[in-house]
Amino acid sequence: MTTYTPMIKQYLNVKAEYEDAFLFFRLGDFYEMFFNDAIEASNILEITLTSRDGGSADKIPMCGIPYHSAEGYIETLVQKGHKVAICEQTEDPRAAKGIVKREVVKVITPGTITEGKTIDANANHFIGAADQLEDGRYALAYVDLATGEGKVEFVSGDERTLISEIEALGMKEIVVRERLHITLNEGMAKRDIVLSMENGEGEKGGIATQSEIPSEMMEACEILLSYLKRTQKSSLDHLRPFDYIQKTDKLSIDANSMRNLELIKSIRNGSKEGTLFWLLDETSTAMGARKLRIWIHQPLADKSAIEDRLELVTDLIDDYFLRDELKTSLKEVYDLERLSGRISMGNASGRDLAQLRNSLRCIPNLKNALFQSGHERLQRFSERLDTCEEALQLLEASVAENPPLSVKEGGIIKDGFNEKLDQYRDASRNGKEWLAGLERDERERTGIKSLKIGYNRIFGYYIEITKSNIHLADLTRYERKQTLANAERYITSELKEKEDLILNAEAEGQDLEYTLFCNVRDEMKSHIRKVQKLASVLSELDVLLSFATVSEKYRYTRPQFHNGRALEIKNGRHPVVEKMMDQSLYVPNSCVLAEDANMLLITGPNMSGKSTFMRQVALTVIMAQIGCYVPCEFAKLPVTDQIFTRIGAADDLASGQSTFMMEMMESRYAIANATEKSLLLFDEIGRGTSTYDGMSLAQAMMEFIHDEIGANTLFSTHYHELTKLNENLNRLVNVHVAAMEREGRVVFLHKVMAGAADKSYGIHVAQLAGLPDSIVIRAKELLDNFESEQTMNNETSATQLSFFDLPDESDQMTEKDKSVLDALEHTDLLNLTPMQAMHLIMDWQKELKNS
């Protein structure tokens, strides 16, 4: 350090406090980076790497970017998972004695970036904090810094379950204490989620200590708030109290099920198209789109709350003209939540304040339209709309109609708001006219026609009178300023006063206007809570209007709810598939789960529609419990508490898990957490292993769900042997997706019918896929051979399946056999990880072999 220049020493001292971030070091009109930061940033940002003399023997690597175009470069670094610390000059260079003082004013991270081309305003951008509790659960707190929305919830399960929930919420950054950092580091890195540590004292008090939040969750809230205050270094008054998500109030959908059902993101390409969100998003505001995402992620599980939403949607469907009027008004409303965040953090521009004012102007019309609707529920809803009159009055009085984007170039404050500013503007705009008027007045007063008003840089403005006319002037009013050969130059108190105004009007006017703007922006902070509350109500209205629009457009029907577990859907449709295809070609299907027969075993060939049928049942339940009408002719539903799915080959490539391992892990999670009020969807469980292993596992799982859980279950399979289970499982019903042969080819009817399928049509599907005829013909020959050996295969199957039967008491067992069986009987398999189960089995096998 002793060899470096004072400026480089200052840089290194600041950099030592932000080693995990790129340090943007302000030097004049540029942000400079040095040493390794410069080398790495020049590669990532594709900018020129140079060097400079820093006092050492070797030159220091350096690169820089203009400060006025830094946003794009910062966004690029952050999107690639990096952090950026902004170090600004904190004193006027002209007043500095020695090196100019500099300090970091903000750290921008993947979880705290709020603006940019890649930021989707229609989605929440959460940053979270996790804390592991003594009982093994996790507390997960998360905040959208742009909107101020904060939530906290418990996550049960291992670290994979926690990571899945973080993924489902779309978080890019998670904050933890050091002890949890080790546990999550590898899993987060594989998913490109930044894992940050916060080991300082938690942020005590404030919004983290709301009484309704369980005490076990406080640590997670305090970790998050402490990290945000340390990195943002600005007011966070817009952060709202954390909303505690109680499991009993919401329909829980785990991350795997969200992915399998394509609720928010398409499995194929991760886009919005082809998802439930894509179908339902007819919102008019970004606030409404975000609210819709949250509702889909966390549907209701309270019957009365669901009914309340459905009642409002019904009223809106019944009144088309009201709906059209409300949607028209909502289109004039800007993103009040993000505007509130900018105001609170001191980032709002004059244009932001104008957008807030224009939005508030729409509220009386919305409120009046709802009240005049004649619908009692909508009238009660209108009472929740706060017109924020004080905030609107301030903005109406202060903010110009069309202010510029820049906050320091004038034009933001309205004429008449401040007398001094009006004088500056008047002097700036009308200075020449005023001087011409003064010159005319002085000529009339003195009778000197040659009198003139002039200006030079040294003396400023003056009144010039030729020496031959001096006797006509009232010299008691004039003060001599300069003597020329044939004229005298004077100034009056009035001209002196105006001179200061005219010469400094523009600069001082802009300075005063910026001060007034900051004062208005600061005063608006006292109204933020009301504006945020209004935004929440408006976003709710926006989503309800969207439900009404979609329900009418696609001929959906209002679902009915009851307190049992029976489920009846008459002629249901998959809403997304229906939208993407010709609706006249769509084949609807009914689904009936009775109180005493609530498990369906679905058979049928590939491509026949088994998975689509299962998904449409789940989507119908979700749509109903977010308060939307559903795609069917009639629906009578129970209130479902959780949905678990295992549909499709969702290999977890990021963590190196095979399809079969994923099947088992997802199945274990479902079985361990499901209740009799849950909905389980299992698609061809066991296909990732050998036939007999897969069939045995599938049967064992079905028996356990049937006997121990009792949840509503849809179970599809290619194992036709399982269709005989209805003889022993009294709540199991066989159904199949129909297909038929026509001229040697299979025709899929896509119709779910009673009973089991009689054939799999696998070779026919291969033929449809375009396999060479020689392969298809050979496959048919082999199939005939296999079917002729059916008896032998059945005997072999019975022999292998008997492995799973416990020995009769009459069988001779050693003490070690009995020991292993006793250990098996008393092992809590549902709470073992796959690896732990594998080790146990290996130990038992070794013990049996040695007996």
Q: What is the DSSP string of 489-516?
A: EEE-HHHHHHHHHHHHHHHHHHHHHHHH
Please state at what angle helix 773-788 crosses helix 790-801, rounded to 10 degrees.
70
Q: How far is it, in rounded angstroms, from Cα 63 to Cα 39?
A: 8
Give the sheet arrangement for strand 487-491, strand by strand: 452-456, 460-466, 487-491, 479-483
Which pair of structure tokens corresponds to residue 50?
A: 């140079």
The radius of gyration of the chain from alpha carbons, rounded to an integer in Å, stands at 37
274 labeled part of a ligand binding site? no
Query: Closest Cα to residue 18, out of 196, 147, 192, 238?
Result: 196
Which pair of structure tokens corresponds to residue 33?
A: 């980076």
Query: Closest Cα to residue 737, out of 712, 754, 718?
Result: 754
3-state secondary structure of 639: coil
Give the sheet arrangement for strand 732-742, strand by strand: 252-253, 642-646, 679-683, 712-716, 599-603, 732-742, 745-754
Query: Closest Cα to residue 693, out of 603, 825, 848, 801?
Result: 801
Are 399 and 414 contacting, i.e. CB atoms less than 8 angstroms apart?
yes
341 labeled part of a ligand binding site? no
How far is CA 821 from its chain centroid?
49
Taking CA atoms, 219 is separated from 165, 194, 405, 632, 708, in Å, by: 19, 20, 40, 46, 37
Torsion 473-479-485-487 (CA) sign? negative
Report which residue type is found at 357: R
Q: How far is it, in rounded angstroms, from Cα 836 to Cα 394?
A: 65
3-state secondary structure of 19: coil
609 labeled part of a ligand binding site? yes
Burial status of residue 293 (CB atoms within 10 A of its CB: 0-12, 13-18, 19 or more)? buried
Which single residue is written with the structure tokens 């100034």?
Answer: 491
Which pair of structure tokens corresponds to residue 715?
A: 């179970």
Taking CA atoms, 700 is separated from 311, 658, 717, 740, in Å, by: 43, 21, 14, 31
3-state secondary structure of 363: helix
519 labeled part of a ligand binding site? no
SS (H, E, C) 772-832: CHHHHHHHHHHHHHHHHCHHHHHHHHHHHHHHHCCCCCCCCCCHHHHHHHHHHHCCCHHHC
185 labeled part of a ligand binding site? no
Residue burial 663-698, b: 16+ Cβ < 10 Å; e: rest? bbbbbbbbbebbeebbbbbbbbbbbbbeebebbbbb
Query: Closest Cα to residue 733, out of 749, 751, 752, 750?
Result: 752
686 labeled part of a ligand binding site? no
How far is CA 294 from its chain centroid?
8
Strand-pair partners of 143: 127, 150
Strand-pair partners of 454: 462
454 labeled part of a ligand binding site? no
Q: How far is it, in rounded angstroms, from Cα 87 to Cα 103?
A: 5
Please state at what angle helix 35-45 crosses helix 70-79, rounded to 10 degrees.
90
546 labeled part of a ligand binding site? no
Which pair of structure tokens corresponds to residue 469?
A: 């006319």
Strands 83-89 and 21-27: parallel
Q: How far is it, in rounded angstroms, from Cα 367 to Cα 534?
A: 11
Residue burial 532-545, b: 16+ Cβ < 10 Å; e: rest? bbbbbbbbbbbbbb
Which residues carry a binding-site annotation?
Answer: 604-611
Which residues carry a binding-site annotation for ATP?
Answer: 604-611
